[in-house]
Chains A and B, each alone.
Chain A
Amino acid sequence: MRKFILPRRSLLRGLGGVAVGLPMLECMLNGNGDALAQAGALPKRYAIVFAGQSIGGDSWDEDKSQVAGVRKTETGHFIADTAAGAGYPVTTPLKALEKLGLMGDFSMVSNLKIPWNTTSADGAMVPAGGAFRDFHGGGAGPLLCGTRSTTSSFKAASITSDQIVAGLNKTTLDSLVLRAQPSWYLSGSDFSGRQYISYKDGGKAIEAQTNPGIVYHSLFDAFTPKDGSEQAAHDFQLRARKSVLSLITDKRERILGKLGTADKARLGAHFDEIRDLEMRIAAAPPMSGDQCQKPTAPADNLPLGEDNAGSGSDTIGTNTGYSDEDTRARLLADLIHMAFVCDITRVATLQITVFQSHMNVFKISTDFGMPIRADLHECGHNGDATTRGQLPVSMCLGWHIGHYAYLMDKLKKTPEGAGTVLDNSAIVFMPEAGHGIQLNDSTANFQTHSVDRMVLLVGGRAGGLMPGRHIVSQNAHPGNVLLSAMQAAGYTGDKFGEVTGKLPELFG
């Protein structure tokens, strides 16, 4: 890794609300290293790592599985099948966190529930913060934004937690919105909103960046190298890049001036985004001391998987429907880590897999030693003919949590002030569904499309979070957990969408 020097500093605000703040240096810290010498506390980070799968097998009891044709009855595979409090036995999906010594760095909140109307499928009858009784999409909105969903759409009706926290900060990037699964993988249909977990005010979805190389350049190209000859090349590239863009933005008024209202809005939005890019480039790259280092550029040759061949299970191809999400998620976690360390942003979302994900799990499941011929969605339903039920689902969940653990571990290993970056972070792991009563019928239990018996993990110690425990809630709304993490990251409100109040147990 190379180190970089700090060029000019400034505070700029772009047309689209991009703000660029003062970079932070060790010299700005107070004697204890836990706060800025002149201002408030160290920056607080907020992130959500999302898994587009449920936490149990459809209609499978939580101690029942079949692996390679052998039926098993074993406890400890369901993520929350463990004692409450501190020092609880580690369940299968949490193994990656245990392996990295992180069991004391997050709390698990289980038995969460999004309310729904058990007798009516009328959108007008959905309770506050509740789920529309649609099988797939109805629970997505309230999970992400705390506001009820009145249709089957995956759309969030109001601003999501990450964007509320992003609004508190004045960093180069207000937030990083990233996704590891680049493709939908099903012929004849498309994401239809399943690819969003971050929304702005009014429920405007934020398009995620899926290319790690582009994220890297976006974050680090403006860094100035210390080495003289590298500086010359950097200066040349930076000047050229600015000239290239200004040739475009210089034309803004001339072009917009000849357009009608609709086109003016369309093209104006495009120009606004280019202008924001210019502002980010023009701004000083923020740095926060020795730990901020420009990482190595990610590989440029990540595969882009074709649509799934064969069916969702059993006959699914072994080399389709997968774009090496494993590597993509790791690279994106690396970038979130260094963006946090360098204080380029304090907020990130990483959607590893999309809602109702059809990513082929054959490769990842082979890697964890339990090959499953199915896509992720089918894994939750029926697995394949020989491997299905709780354990395979928990293993896939554990794969997602492995990436969450990887990010947590990197943040924990990075000193900041008197502690670590993780001490100043609230990092949430969010699966798309629970494993309770089925949303659409309100009778069958242990369902994969359930907003009942949901689980969230909250890592870090920002804002007085007291990690290390399993908290069994009394059907609290997931929004209560998010609100707690938001408050830990500096949000002072007590309302999130239609959900009110934090979960005090998370703070000890």
Chain B
Amino acid sequence: MHALNGLKCSGPRFVALASVFCVAASLVACGTDSSSPVGQASGGGAQNGGGNGPGPGPGAGNGPVGPGNLTTASASVARRLSRAELSNTLRDVLGDDTVAPNKFLNDDVYRPFDNDYTVQAASRALIESLEALADDVADRAVSPANRGKVVPCTPTGPGDTACLKTTIESLGQRLYRRPLSAEQVTAYLTLQSYATEANADVPHDFYTAVNLVLRSMLQDPEVLYRIETGTATKEPGIFKLDSYEVASRLSFLLWGSGPDEALLDSAKAGGLVDAASRTDAATRLLTDAHARGQLERFHSMWLGYRAIPASPELATAFNTETNKLIEKVVFDQPSSYLDLFTSSQTYVNGPLATQYGLTAPAGGAGWVSYADDKRAGILSHGSVLAAFSKFSDTSPTQRGIFVQTRLLCNKVLPPPATVNVDQPPAAADKVCKLDRYDAHRTLASCSSCHGQLDPIGYGLENYDIGGKYRTHDDGHAECVLPDKGALPGFGEFSGPGQLARLLVDSGKVEACFMQHLMTYAAGRELRPEEDASKAALLASFKADGYGLQQLLTHYVADDRFSLRQEEVVP
């Protein structure tokens, strides 16, 4: 509710619990006259090619743009691995699947992705946490049960320098994502003195040195940050990355983890600096389970369901349902990515079928068809319908914000400062929830913003935060829900399936997906100068029938993927 006393969107006191934001949209505040209350987000001008922009991307038939064009290289810095990326790396390199970073490191900031380098900052808390993490991981790695996974040789004794050297080289290559220099190896070998010293009071052996090597590596900025230097091009501030730097870009984008041995081998052979070699690498990486996990995590952050507010059993079922659809559309039966929004089938188990009012599949879990077009695709999943709810109920406004910002990439400004966003719209004499939203419609100061948001939510209001269908307000049979809403500017709809159809037909949802994908890849909000690259990629996406694997392959094949622009220091 908003108690909204300042703007009188509602009465001074509230009676109910449902909550929404009074949201001012676009570049104007709620209450200000605006002909365009919901505006394009920064970097969202997908149509703008830009005067200096490259031609369409390789997928559209024109050759890639060469280095030296400012519009092709994205600004970047040394990005610190997110908790998820660090966890994945420890899993892949050390076989440590304890997700220890989540225990020791403070949570990353989600904007909506967890890898925004503009908000990463070193701090005492971070350094102390990294030391504790390194100690914890190293202890586990050299334990008798696990040491075989990290030490590729059998040491002859505490002073086996050859075996320690081999261990340093193999761990180093994976953690640094490039071979260590002779100088680096020599430095780590000094730690062997702790294995060999004459000290009857302290138990120590060969693995003591391995432990210390790991502790040092795991706190090393060259491991924790993806440092890219490259070599200068003719264009000032533009650098061409080396093979290993490109290998890291590839694996962190497609796997959310560091490169495996095969990718490092490609880098060692001087590959990955050309489009064909990157295409081959991407094709291989996309066949691996890591790519599925990465894409699923991307969607959970983009669409806001990374933590589903439901019982553990139901949350698991929702996640399975959504991941199955992503995997089907992208990997198992590759089709247009837009099928993610329009699929007429969904993967459910018995309880989830009951939840949705569908016939339970034979055999416990499987694909079932929806009865009509009111439900379709990912927007009908309990995962997504649970996101952007507020407190005890759905919030038509929040769902409107979700569609406008995450699916159409329109900017929605926060509500005016004087609006109470903690309480649902108040009207003591109104029992029905949507009646309490009247002020949003009838007061000009509210409707200019809410008119772009609430109608979307109304069309979803018959689907509760668990994805169940309902015909009336919970506990109020007299409050019949409309089963009808509108996507402003695009038409009316009933249910998430019809909404998805409008979104897909609008031609905007794929551009917004592209913006989010590129945001995640860049590790920060896109900038206007990247509009041209986005437009080119979008053209190739369309030309390929919206195949996501092809898109990702084009993305990494483009020259810009192997270039770096020096970040401007504020």
Binding site for B on A (CB under 8 A): 16, 58-59, 121, 132-135, 138, 152, 177, 182-184, 187-191, 206-211, 213-214, 217-218, 228-229, 232-233, 236, 239-240, 243-245, 247-248, 250-251, 255, 258-263, 265-267, 269-274, 276-277, 304, 306-315, 317, 377-378, 381-382, 438, 440-441, 443-444, 449
Contact = CB atoms under 8 A, between A and B. Distances in A.
Nearest to B202: A236
Interface in B387-435: 387-389, 391-393, 414, 416-423
A266 B304 contact: no
Nearest to B13: A59
Nearest to B204: A236
B262 interface: no
A307 B568 CA distance: 37
A255 B3 contact: no
Contact of A243 (B104, B132, B194, B308): B194
Given A187-B307, A236-B204, A248 B567 contact: no
Nearest to B301: A188
Contact of B227 (A206, A233, A267): A267
Contacts of A217: 128, 132
A206 B569 CA distance: 22
B187 interface: yes
A233 B308 CA distance: 47
Given A232-B201, A263-B77, A441-B418, A311 B393 contact: yes
A177 B569 CA distance: 29
A270 B125 CA distance: 11
Contacts, number: 225
Contacts of B416: 121
Interface centre among A188, A266, A306, by most chain B C-beta atoms within 10 angstroms, is A188
A217 B199 CA distance: 24
A286 B566 CA distance: 45
A315 B125 CA distance: 35
A273 B122 contact: yes
Contact of A188 (B387, B420, B566): B387
A133 B391 contact: no
A121 B6 CA distance: 10
Interface stretch (B66-74, B214-222, B521-529): B214-222
A259 B422 CA distance: 47
Greatest chain A CB density within 10 A among B5, B422, B423 is at B422
A218 B123 CA distance: 14
Contact of B567 (A182, A260, A274, A381): A260
B123 A273 contact: yes
B449 interface: no
A132 B418 CA distance: 10
Interface size class of B (residues with CB under 8 A): 35 or more
- 3 smallest beta-carbon distances between A and B, as pairs: A232-B201, A311-B392, A441-B5
A133 B129 contact: no
B369 interface: no
B107 interface: yes
B100 to A, nearest CB: 12
29 contacts: A58-B423, A121-B416, A132-B417, A133-B417, A184-B107, A208-B125, A233-B202, A236-B199, A240-B191, A240-B212, A244-B216, A250-B187, A259-B78, A261-B569, A266-B78, A266-B120, A267-B227, A270-B225, A273-B122, A273-B124, A276-B124, A277-B127, A306-B307, A310-B392, A313-B17, A314-B17, A314-B392, A441-B5, A441-B12
Contacts of B386: 187
A93 B121 CA distance: 38
B201 A233 contact: yes
A310 B464 CA distance: 12
Contacts of B216: 243-245, 247-248
B143 interface: no
Nearest to A441: B5
B131 A277 contact: yes
A229 B125 contact: no
Given A259-B227, A444-B12, 5 more contacts: A58-B423, A262-B568, A276-B124, A312-B392, A444-B13
B306 A255 contact: no
A234 to B, nearest CB: 9
Nearest to B422: A381
- The A contact surface, by secondary structure, is loop
A132 B416 CA distance: 12
B196 to A, nearest CB: 13
A58 B423 CA distance: 10
Interface in B220-257: 220-222, 224-225, 227, 229
Contacts of A443: 5, 12
Interface of B: 3, 5-6, 12-13, 17, 77-78, 102-104, 106-107, 109-111, 120-129, 131-132, 187-188, 190-191, 194, 199, 201-202, 204, 208, 212, 215-216, 219-222, 224-225, 227, 229, 304-312, 315, 386-389, 391-393, 414, 416-423, 566-569
A207 B125 contact: yes
A309 B201 contact: no
Nearest to B209: A240
A206 B127 CA distance: 13
A138 B420 CA distance: 13
A378 B417 contact: no
Contact of A441 (B3, B199, B391): B3
Contacts of A378: 391
Nearest to A308: B309
B227 A263 contact: yes
Contact of A211 (B132, B215, B306, B568): B132
B127 A138 contact: no
Contacts of A214: 104, 128-129, 132
Contact of A191 (B109, B212, B222, B389): B109
A211 B102 CA distance: 11
B53 to A, nearest CB: 25
B123 A207 contact: yes
Nearest to B124: A273
Given A133-B417, A248-B216, A265-B569, A236 B125 contact: no
A183 B107 contact: yes
Contacts of B569: 261-262, 265
A207 B309 contact: no
Considering residues A232, A236, A250, which has the most beta carbons from chain B within 10 angstroms of its beta carbon?
A: A236
Given A187-B304, A250-B187, A309-B309, A244 B567 contact: no
A41 B424 CA distance: 56
B125 A177 contact: yes
Nearest to B131: A277
A311 B253 CA distance: 34
Contacts of B78: 259, 263, 266-267
A245 B304 contact: no
Contacts of B306: 187
A441 B307 contact: no
Nearest to B6: A441
B364 to A, nearest CB: 24
B125 A133 contact: no
Given A207-B121, A207-B125, A273-B124, A243 B190 contact: yes
A262 B387 contact: no
Contact of A247 (B5, B188, B421): B188
